[in-house]
Amino acid sequence: MTHTIGIGVIGMGWMGMVHSRAYRQVADRFADSGIRPRLVICADDVPARVQHAQAALGFSEATTDWHAVLAHPDVEVVNIATPNYLHLEMVRAAAAAGKHIFCEKPVGRSPQETAEIERLARQAGVISFVGFNYRWAPMVQYARQLIDEGRLGKLTHYRGRFFAMYGSNPLGMLTWRYQTEYAGMGVLGDIMSHVIDMAHMLAGPIARVAGHRHTFIRQRPLPILGQGTHFSLGHPDDPTGPVTNEDYASALVQFENGVQGTFESCRAIFGPKCEMSFEVNGTEGALRWNFERMNELELYLPDGTPARDGYTRLLAGPAYGLHGRFIPGDGIGIGYEDLKAIEAYQFLQSIVDGQQAAPSFADALALANVQQAIVRSWESNTWEPVISLRREV
Amino acid sequence: MTHTIGIGVIGMGWMGMVHSRAYRQVADRFADSGIRPRLVICADDVPARVQHAQAALGFSEATTDWHAVLAHPDVEVVNIATPNYLHLEMVRAAAAAGKHIFCEKPVGRSPQETAEIERLARQAGVISFVGFNYRWAPMVQYARQLIDEGRLGKLTHYRGRFFAMYGSNPLGMLTWRYQTEYAGMGVLGDIMSHVIDMAHMLAGPIARVAGHRHTFIRQRPLPILGQGTHFSLGHPDDPTGPVTNEDYASALVQFENGVQGTFESCRAIFGPKCEMSFEVNGTEGALRWNFERMNELELYLPDGTPARDGYTRLLAGPAYGLHGRFIPGDGIGIGYEDLKAIEAYQFLQSIVDGQQAAPSFADALALANVQQAIVRSWESNTWEPVISLRREV
Amino acid sequence: MTHTIGIGVIGMGWMGMVHSRAYRQVADRFADSGIRPRLVICADDVPARVQHAQAALGFSEATTDWHAVLAHPDVEVVNIATPNYLHLEMVRAAAAAGKHIFCEKPVGRSPQETAEIERLARQAGVISFVGFNYRWAPMVQYARQLIDEGRLGKLTHYRGRFFAMYGSNPLGMLTWRYQTEYAGMGVLGDIMSHVIDMAHMLAGPIARVAGHRHTFIRQRPLPILGQGTHFSLGHPDDPTGPVTNEDYASALVQFENGVQGTFESCRAIFGPKCEMSFEVNGTEGALRWNFERMNELELYLPDGTPARDGYTRLLAGPAYGLHGRFIPGDGIGIGYEDLKAIEAYQFLQSIVDGQQAAPSFADALALANVQQAIVRSWESNTWEPVISLRREV
Amino acid sequence: MTHTIGIGVIGMGWMGMVHSRAYRQVADRFADSGIRPRLVICADDVPARVQHAQAALGFSEATTDWHAVLAHPDVEVVNIATPNYLHLEMVRAAAAAGKHIFCEKPVGRSPQETAEIERLARQAGVISFVGFNYRWAPMVQYARQLIDEGRLGKLTHYRGRFFAMYGSNPLGMLTWRYQTEYAGMGVLGDIMSHVIDMAHMLAGPIARVAGHRHTFIRQRPLPILGQGTHFSLGHPDDPTGPVTNEDYASALVQFENGVQGTFESCRAIFGPKCEMSFEVNGTEGALRWNFERMNELELYLPDGTPARDGYTRLLAGPAYGLHGRFIPGDGIGIGYEDLKAIEAYQFLQSIVDGQQAAPSFADALALANVQQAIVRSWESNTWEPVISLRREV
């Protein structure tokens, strides 16, 4: 049975292009699902972007007015890949139009905004999905399976980190990401959201946290026109403006099930390129994964003999998660965008099934609750419990 | 300027699908080239395959008669992804039809056949290209650049290997790959062709070789119907037939420029999953690469100080080769099929330029000359010079 | 000029033997220093131990009464390698006898006890030294040199950990290490002391901490006779007693110079064998080291070109620290006990120079001040400043 | 029961010192064996060397006349650590004196010389031993155990290499190692002897070989006085002399049991520091080891499930070989000289038992037979069988 699903994408920067390619891959990689996404319309303020997206990916229509996406009768799914400060307004409109919604992380600029977004989608009865793409690496899925099967025994430790260099250069321009007004939280909202989401998936809910933050680079060159881009550099004598959110966040973490852990993220660190990694220890085994080698998983599953008493380096292959949808042979890696294709498939399958799958806005809210506890901890200088912000109708 | 190029693909197994996706990526990843491949028609004996290919990838037409591809007026490029024993016939027909030709490796079953194929394309004046996809890994391209710039000094050593497990199970069925009649050479023709091509690209022409071969598994279960697939297993009590080509090949290698080296390949080894790797040493530096970690390159470029006196692990990123066409940030990996997209782009750009680029059938012939010397060495038990088989008109 | 120094060792368990061998190596490895340690006398409660030590290592005398070591006129240095609860009494006696003192870490069971021990040695005017042996790995010394030379720029991040499995088995017996009365702190005093000392050496003084602890295994089998050993296992139906100190400790850490960091240690974790590691990031470089590969250092020192933009794996060799005292060639590793030989040399050289070197009891006290702040943080649930406990006369 | 064994060491360069320390460690590390080596006398042409050896290690006597070692009534074992060209003469004298003999590799300058040396010791009825120290790494011993137990199934592949940089600098002086007259073979005799010995131990006897050699650096600066040292550099305008043996050797190798393999060694390669490594594949498992990480073993022992389908990195610990004699805990490495202590113990235990253990001069001869076949292959340019040179009385 074939399920044609009309897709509208808002925001045709890098991430919007990535999402669009991901939808296009679904019919091919998951042909047996019967899901046939149709790229109906793409929107962006910048005309050149929508023209390129249309030409390169085959959208039927393109617009510079994002409202046109919501109004389009063939659009069943709205995909939001815009800066954070636009998410609430767009979700509100999409929910009102009864569209299913994919929103890039972080969903809201603040936990309160995420709670509002979650409420809007819930009340509208639409399916939601969030771009926590690291979940979908086949080796991560396999890690999750091992944990769920109890292969690691009772979990004891979880360590998650995400270190990136995108803000390491002091000449990196003062884009929206560095400003509370547009981005909300800094690294806690941006890349640490992946850390928390992954921890939720693998180790379960978090009971309490003690957090810390720091801003290493407090002034950055002002972009000349509008927002500049993620990778643009200013000049040493450019006028500067203040960075108003944090470069660095760390936390001590206690999970509800007794697991002890730490989280740490920085966007202004020098050394790691894209070190989104985790380590999990249990009473019978352990594992660790690093996105910089996403096609590997290191697994410790001793059996009491010397021959098994070390970490085994597993190479991605058809035996692990959905890897086989991309490559039939062993030891051949997939790429970052393939995670996005799996993500798109999981979302569309959730729509076909009429069953909300994870990660939904509810999962984003669970994550926001943890962020909120960390933010409170910054003020109180003490441990803070994770409290649900869910807004009931 | 836009260049629309009509593509016909013959053979819609895994590799044919991979090639088709690769063409589809070109308009997107290399949008500024103006190249716009159009998937005109796909062909395969198996109707289900062409139906799937058409549905999943959007070919305008599909056929079970490969001659229809050659006859199609919109087809400018013929892409051959069929078993080896069909290559010659198909190339002959494609050349006669004046189509540009992409052929998967190994081009011919024997060096003589490759020489014939090279002659046909040359005389027809069409552009040819061969699927030596490991060339296109951005970190390999960067390795080549460093060598070409002389950063490693004068090269002294080259070690290339390709170990895979696809034939390690004695119950793996007697498909065409194991039979001289259909495949020609065994591992020498199959995966060792990648080793030799890579060595040619990085270290230059080979002067002489001393080779060795072995067949570890001499009987395999007969497939019930036709050819079976690469990964099918028989049962221990199935009737068996003889493996008539080699599982293992090794060689001592002297390059024309004085580089000393070794090649080694096996399809029936236990341990390595897809270890296509090389190590190059020169008088001022060294590097090594392994496809199992294709997004990395280990580079030794000492400067006489202790801080630089080791191998540096470089992670793929926009600074290396064409990686930035896929991912704008550092430390984020691409996948195997992205190499095929680069390959497709290089081929199509060669057509647009009207300039034969590498690797062409001439490069396949250069490789075949080395294979031929290795084969002679199997018989003579001594060193054999590499001699050109090129057939002049 | 030759300096013969008489050595008395108290406590001939594994660590006492290690220390004794270390002294014996000094005359050989550091022959040009003129230092000639003489193994005068060894002491232990267990007669078999001292007999073995004497036979194997050549002590002139052996005793089961440790006071005899202090009373011996040829003993210039007293080396204490006994359980923690005996340190204070022995240091008091050694200081009163005017002997130079080497004490294994952790010096005191509590920060207060360490402060008392530091005061005793200081007032007696003797040279002290502490067994923070990881300092002495040549690749760690080289890391320190790079930091001191400013090669990493201004430091920004420090992450230290020590994970070991010695307490991971719930049947591991309730030895003195698990009891506050005998050991004082648990993992914070034991292996985390190495983490803090290393951080002090590499990144400087710590301003404040927020700590956490956990005890995963709360009951352990009682040893039948006395204390059992570090690696003895009980039976599931043995009578048990309570573990009264922590298995796990973690902390968020702010250094006085603005470096942000984390510490984490566990003795009851499953997976890491002896993962004493650190990572340091600065504004111009980064490095990381792991004792499990103590003969390596990973160093990131980019120069703005793609060829240098990754971590370089340096292999130990004569160019790094004092490695050349053990091995003249590159890429050949030294062992754990060689670190102890370097430590013994540094201590004895300090005596010969009449200049207190590091790590002294004052360094142990600086570390104890951090531990004290972590302990206070356990109670207050908030950040605690590091306050000096130094006891003035 | 105690076995005191008098030791005389000839040649007090680096290796002679290493051997002497190794004997000294035996009483301590292998106390339960009852073996108590006594350092009786050391000899070297250079007076400063024997003085240092005596002072640092405690030899009872020292001499510049090596014949005094053989004449000493307390000497039961003669340890030869001199340049290759002196081995034959010294072994002849030691055998005539009825002493047990340890000789550093390569035993003879040529296979013929090794055969002569083997004959002399055999006819004298003394125990012999050779310094193939890589055999004794605990992780190598464990590898051997796994192979002997059949855990890898039937062996199929063996790859051995030893790459070092000691001759990579063209200004490295023309010491005895580079001259046929003094050293005999070049890299084939020097470091490739380790490769062949290891292969013999792990994979058994070799049936035939096809070899190759090359000399990259054909002229080197003449040392001013005598022979210079291993690591001395000349100046670009120094007078030079010819290198008369090979820098590089490679071989295709067939073992008697059907294993297929390659050997490769170079002393003038740029990159590897001390890469003495091997890889072994069988029909049920595989393993690989590299001396640069001698405290690790990578082991592939799949069981058909995805969780075991990769190489496991084992860290040295008491569970492996004799590692526990040095370190009681897991994950703590030993050093290069500890291998020499194990070697010394194995040799002395062989003497105590009155049973010739391996590696003896007979094993050195087996290795020389392989070298001889490789040398013949250099001349014949074809495969050469391994033929025994053993000289019967």
**Residues D373 and D205 sit within 8 Å (Cβ to Cβ):** no
- C306: closest CA of chain A, how far (Å): 13
CB atoms within 10 A of CB B157: 27
Question: How big is chain B, counted in residues?
Answer: 393
pLDDT band at A225 (very low <50, low <70, confident <90, very high): low
ipTM higher than the 0.90 cut: yes
Token pair 């972590």 is found at C374
d(CA D292, CA D277): 8
Main-chain dihedrals φ then ψ at residue D84, nearest 5 degrees: -55, -35
Annotate D103-124 with b (16+ C-beta within 10 A) or e (fewer): bbbbbbbbbebbbbbbbbbbeb
Nearest to B284 among D216, D270, D381 (CB): D270
**Residues D245 and D185 sit within 8 Å (Cβ to Cβ):** yes
Tokens of B331: 């430390």
Burial (Cβ within 10 Å: 0-12, 13-18, ≥19) of residue C224: exposed
In this predicted structure, the answer to whether residue C229 has a pLDDT above a threshold of 70 is: no
DSSP D191: T
Tokens of B267: 């399809």
Q: What is the pLDDT of residues B328-347, one digit of tens each?
A: 999 999 999 999 999 999 99
Tokens of C352: 């010969």
DSSP A382: B
The whole-number average pLDDT for the span A294-321 is: 98
The mean pLDDT of chain B is 95
Which residue of chain A comes nearest to D306, CA vs CA?
A319
Q: What is the pLDDT of residues A156-174, one digit of tens each?
A: 999 999 999 999 999 999 9
Q: Which residues contact B16 (CB under 8 A, 6 or more apart)?
A: B9, B10, B42, B44, B49, B53, B79, B81, B82
Q: Mutate one of C312, C314, C322, C330 to test the B interface: name it (highest B CB count within 10 A).
A: C312
Strand-strand pairing, C155-164 and C260-266: parallel
Say what the pLDDT of residue D35 is. Answer: 97
Burial (Cβ within 10 Å: 0-12, 13-18, ≥19) of residue A235: exposed
Nearest to C319 among B142, B301, B309 (CB): B309
The whole-number average pLDDT for the span A222-242 is: 78
Main-chain dihedrals φ then ψ at residue B347, nearest 5 degrees: -65, -50
In this predicted structure, the answer to whether residue C226 has a pLDDT above a threshold of 60 is: no
**Residues A269 and C285 sit within 8 Å (Cβ to Cβ):** no
Q: What is the pLDDT of residues A91-135, one digit of tens each?
A: 999 999 999 999 999 899 888 999 999 999 999 999 999 999 999
DSSP D222: P
Percent of chain A with pLDDT over 70: 97
pLDDT band at C232 (very low <50, low <70, confident <90, very high): confident
Task: Count residue pairs from A and C with Cβ separation < 8 A.
Answer: 84
β-bridge mates for residue C250, sequence order: C212, C264
Say what the pLDDT of residue C183 is. Answer: 87
The mean pLDDT of chain C is 95
The whole-number average pLDDT for the span B65-83 is: 97
CB atoms within 10 A of CB C310: 24
Q: What is the pLDDT of residues C140-195, one digit of tens each?
A: 999 999 999 999 999 999 999 999 999 999 999 999 899 998 888 999 999 999 99
In this predicted structure, the answer to whether residue B224 has a pLDDT above a threshold of 80 is: no
**Residues D42 and D8 sit within 8 Å (Cβ to Cβ):** yes
In this predicted structure, the answer to whether residue B391 has a pLDDT above a threshold of 90 is: no
In this predicted structure, the answer to whether residue B225 has a pLDDT above a threshold of 80 is: no
In this predicted structure, the answer to whether residue D17 has a pLDDT above a threshold of 60 is: yes
In this predicted structure, the answer to whether residue B226 has a pLDDT above a threshold of 60 is: no
Percent of chain C with pLDDT over 70: 97
Annotate C111-140 with b (16+ C-beta within 10 A) or e (fewer): bebbbbbbbbbbebebbbbbbbbbbbbbbb
Say what the pLDDT of residue C188 is. Answer: 96
Asked if D333's CB is within 8 angstroms of C295's CB, the reply is yes
Entry pTM: 0.97
Say what the pLDDT of residue B369 is. Answer: 96
Q: Mutate one of C161, C165, C208, C212 to test the A interface: name it (highest A CB count within 10 A).
A: C212
pLDDT band at A389 (very low <50, low <70, confident <90, very high): confident
In this predicted structure, the answer to whether residue A230 has a pLDDT above a threshold of 70 is: no
Task: Give chains near A: 3+ CB pairs under 8 A.
Answer: B, C, D
Helix H, strand E, coil C: the string for B223-274 is CCCCCCCCCCECCCCCCEEECCCCCEEEEEEEECCCCEEEEEEECCCCCCCE
Asked if C314's CB is within 8 angstroms of B312's CB, the reply is no
**Residues D16 and D44 sit within 8 Å (Cβ to Cβ):** yes
Tokens of D47: 């007076």
Q: How far is CA B99 from CA B9, B20, B73, D240, in A?
A: 12, 17, 10, 61
Say what the pLDDT of residue B390 is. Answer: 78
Task: Count residue pairs from B and D with Cβ separation < 8 A.
Answer: 84
In this predicted structure, the answer to whether residue A227 has a pLDDT above a threshold of 60 is: no
DSSP C224: S
CA angle D358, D363, D367 (to 5 degrees): 145
Q: Which residues contact D11 (CB under 8 A, 6 or more apart)?
A: D43, D44, D80, D81, D82, D83, D86
Tokens of D251: 């071989």
Q: What is the pLDDT of residues D117-146, one digit of tens each?
A: 999 999 999 999 999 999 999 999 999 999
In this predicted structure, the answer to whether residue D230 has a pLDDT above a threshold of 70 is: no
d(CA C133, CA A198): 37
Measured CB to CB, residues of chain C less than 8 Å from chain D are 14, 17, 21, 27-28, 31, 52, 55-57, 164-166, 230-231, 272-275, 291-295, 315, 317, 326-338
Chain C residues touching D294 at Cβ < 8 A: 333
Q: Which CATH architecture has domain D3-133?
A: 3-Layer(aba) Sandwich (3.40)
Q: Which of A176-180, A332-336, B138-142, B251-255 has the lowest mean pLDDT?
A: A176-180
Which residue of chain B comes nearest to D309, CA vs CA?
B271
Say what the pLDDT of residue D61 is. Answer: 97
The whole-number average pLDDT for the span A250-267 is: 98
Cα A295 from chain centroid? Answer: 18
In this predicted structure, the answer to whether residue A270 has a pLDDT above a threshold of 70 is: yes
Per DSSP, the residues of C34-56 read: TEEEEEEEEE-SSHHHHHHHHHH
Say what the pLDDT of residue B393 is. Answer: 60
Q: What is the pLDDT of residues C239-270, one digit of tens each?
A: 999 999 999 999 999 999 999 999 999 999 99
Q: How far is CA B67 from CA B11, B60, B71, in A?
A: 12, 16, 6
Using alpha carbons, select from D321, C265, D159 the residue that is nearest to residue B159: D159
Using alpha carbons, select from B361, B344, B357, B335 the residue that is nearest to residue B94: B361
In this predicted structure, the answer to whether residue C393 has a pLDDT above a threshold of 70 is: no
**Residues C289 and C139 sit within 8 Å (Cβ to Cβ):** yes
Percent of chain B with pLDDT over 90: 91
- D283: closest CA of chain A, how far (Å): 17
Say what the pLDDT of residue B223 is. Answer: 84
Measured CB to CB, residues of chain D less than 8 Å from chain C are 14, 17, 21, 27-28, 31, 52, 55-57, 164-166, 230-231, 272-275, 291-295, 315, 317, 326-338
CATH superfamily of A138-293+295-334: Dihydrodipicolinate Reductase; domain 2 (3.30.360.10)
Tokens of C392: 């003035």
The mean pLDDT of chain D is 95
Say what the pLDDT of residue A116 is. Answer: 96
Tokens of B347: 């081929």
CATH class of the domain at B3-134: alpha beta
Nearest to C308 among B306, B312, B315 (CB): B312
The beta strands (E) that lie in A106-153 are given as 128-130
Q: What is the pLDDT of residues A239-250, one digit of tens each?
A: 999 999 999 999
Percent of chain B with pLDDT over 70: 97
Domain range annotation of chain D: 3-133, 138-293+295-334
The whole-number average pLDDT for the span B148-172 is: 97
**Residues B160 and B299 sit within 8 Å (Cβ to Cβ):** no
Task: Give chains near B: 3+ CB pairs under 8 A.
Answer: A, C, D
Q: Mutate one of D312, D315, D320, D330 to test the A interface: name it (highest A CB count within 10 A).
A: D312
Using alpha carbons, select from C214, A376, B250 the residue that is nearest to residue D210: B250
Say what the pLDDT of residue D183 is. Answer: 87
d(CA C375, CA C392): 23
In this predicted structure, the answer to whether residue B228 has a pLDDT above a threshold of 70 is: no
In this predicted structure, the answer to whether residue C309 has a pLDDT above a threshold of 90 is: yes
- B75: closest CA of chain D, how far (Å): 44
Using alpha carbons, select from B154, B218, B155, B228 the residue that is nearest to residue B186: B218
Using alpha carbons, select from B311, B281, B207 the residue that is nearest to residue B251: B207
Q: Which residues contact A265 (CB under 8 A, 6 or more apart)?
A: A161, A162, A163, A187, A188, A191, A192, A195, A248, A249, A250
pLDDT band at C225 (very low <50, low <70, confident <90, very high): low
Which helix or strand (DSSP H or E) is residue D251 part of?
Answer: strand D248-255
Q: What is the pLDDT of residues D84-105, one digit of tens each?
A: 899 999 999 999 999 999 999 9
Q: What is the pLDDT of residues A190-218, one digit of tens each?
A: 999 999 999 999 999 999 999 999 999 99
Nearest to B313 among C142, C313, C317 (CB): C313
Chain A residues touching B274 at Cβ < 8 A: 315, 329-332
Chain A residues touching D314 at Cβ < 8 A: 306-307, 309-310
Say what the pLDDT of residue A130 is. Answer: 98
Tokens of C243: 């573990």
Say what the pLDDT of residue B125 is. Answer: 97
